[in-house]
Amino acid sequence: MKTAAIIVAAGRGLRAGGGIPKQYRMLAGVAVLRRTVSGFAAHPAVDQIVLVIHPADRTHLAETLGPLVDRVTIVEGGATRAASVRAGLAAVTDADSVLIHDAARPMVRAAVIDRVLSALVDSPGAAPALPVTDALWRGADGRVAAMQPRADLFRAQTPQGFHLGAIRFAHAAAPEDAADDVEVALSAGLDVAIVEGDEDNIKITRPQDFARAERLLKEHVMDIRTGNGFDVHRFGPGDAVTLCGVTIPHDRGLQGHSDADVGMHALTDAIYGALAMGDIGRHFPPGDPQWKGAASQVFLAHAAGLARAQGFTLTHMDVTLICETPKIGAHAAAMATELAHIAGVATDRVSVKATTSERLGFTGRGEGIAAMATATLAKA
């Protein structure tokens, strides 16, 4: 299932103070909008990000987002939130589901996104929310007029997720003053599942919300880990080599217990290293006959799965192949694409490159291929 994220950032948001729209104000040294976009750019299930902006904001968008500007499809919003969401929906090019998120919620975590997407398997709509736990009053003239029952009441959050076709249909007939996309969905008769929200997924509305968000950022220090991997395989009989999942015709093959994909082995070990969980040999013992000739994508997928199970996001993978032959340059892009697919990350988070050893050592003599790799994991 392909997923697009629509980030609605066309509002003026001046109630938060600062003299500029709140999504462009700095939050602990980083623009609110950049923090919001980065949360979705780092999620492996998000294939496209559509950013809906006010026309006046286009000129400083690149400065605000930095390199992330290349990850987003930019469209201009309308006079109402509903009109802006419709513009975003029209810009989605290839997706089965869509996540609609307020730019003013920069603290969204991958776990909330995961829960929404999981609920969309069985429901046309899903949204995060938190149950109301405080007593509720009705007021009049500054005094308590009556009590309001809080049973079955929830505080809505975003991202709110939907099957793309269903929410497009709903928005086509929606009232312009709808409070959010769940209201739009309900008006069209769509079922919307409630998933657990996050107390820290706050919406910045007032000046004091910036101070609260900065406190939360200090409390939740990012767990960032880096692992390194190195592997070597000698040449032997054969007519092709498999490197980073791509088969390249060659006058010799690589020898190994599995398919001898030296690049993928180094990368897999880098991920295990970042997790402090050993190496391939610990998880797939070379003495076990079931792994003889196995495709190395099994190993990489296992390592990436362990990272996700522990709450980590693979933020970057870098592989360097060291050999005289075969020539790697023409195949590097295909290798990066294959590694990204297996590990479940965006292709622009994978680097594959090659170098020679200037004819020195066993690689210089053409006796084999070496590879080194680095993997970076992050968890909020």
Q: How many residues does the chain have?
A: 380
Topology given in CATH for the domain delimited by 3-219: Spore Coat Polysaccharide Biosynthesis Protein SpsA; Chain A (3.90.550)
User: Does the CA dihedral 270-272-273-279 come out positive or negative?
Assistant: negative
Per-domain residue ranges of the chain: 3-219, 223-379
Neighbours of 284 (CB within 10 A): 18
Spatial CA neighbour of 205 closest among 37, 13, 32: 13
Q: Which fold does the domain 223-379 belong to in CATH?
A: 60s Ribosomal Protein L30; Chain: A; (3.30.1330)
Whole-Å CA distances, 265 to 30, 141, 296: 37, 70, 7
Instruction: Describe the crossing of helices 262-274 and 297-309 by its angle, rounded to 10 degrees.
Output: 20
**Torsion angle of alpha carbons 227, 232, 238, 243, nearest 10°?**
20
Rounded to whole angstroms, the Cα distance separating 220 from 151 reads: 31
* pTM greater than 0.85: no
β-strands 223-236, 26-27: how paired? unpaired
Bridge-based pairing of strands 223-236 and 143-148 is unpaired
Q: What is the pLDDT along the chain (380 residues), one digit of tens a residue?
A: 899 999 999 987 666 556 788 899 998 888 999 999 989 988 989 999 999 999 989 888 888 998 888 899 999 999 899 999 999 999 999 999 999 999 999 999 999 999 999 999 999 999 999 999 999 999 999 999 999 999 999 999 999 999 999 999 999 988 888 889 999 999 999 999 999 999 999 999 888 999 999 888 877 767 889 999 999 999 999 999 999 999 999 999 999 888 899 999 999 999 999 999 999 999 998 888 888 888 899 999 999 999 988 888 899 999 999 999 999 999 999 999 999 999 988 898 999 999 999 999 999 999 999 999 999 998 76
